[in-house]
Amino acid sequence: MAEKTTKAKAAPKAELTLAQQLDAKRSDLRDARKSLASGELVNPRIIGTIRKEIARLLTTINAQKEAK
C-alpha cells in the first residue's frame, strides 16, 4: 500500500518580515527565469505572477516607510 506524502508547509507570511518575503520572491523569479532560458519551465506565466507579487511587497514596504 502506498504511503501518503505531504508537502512541507511554507512558513506563514506573518512570521517572515516583508524584506525576507521580498528576497524569497526575487530568488523565485531568478530561478524561474533560469528555467525558462533552459527550456525547463512548464508554465511561463508564473514569471508575471511573481513579478506582481514583488510589486505588491514593494508597495507595502514603501507605504510603511511613508507612514513613519
For 10-54, write each residue's pLDDT tens digit.
555 556 899 999 999 999 999 999 999 999 999 999 999 999 999
For cell 507612514, the residue is 67
* 8 assigned to some structural domain: no
Look up the domain containing 54 and give its range: 18-67
Is residue 59 within 8 A of residue 22, CB to CB? The reply is no
Q: How many domains does the chain have?
A: 1
- Cα–Cα distances (Å) from 66 to 42, 54, 63, in that order, read 39, 18, 5
Query: Which set of grid coordinates corresponds to residue 57?
Result: 511587497
Q: Can you give the pTM of this predicted structure? A: 0.75
* 13 assigned to some structural domain: no
Could you give phi then psi for residue 28, rounded to 5 degrees? -60, -40
- Cα–Cα distances (Å) from 56 to 13, 48, 62, in that order, read 14, 12, 10
Indicate if the pLDDT at residue 5 is higher than 80: no
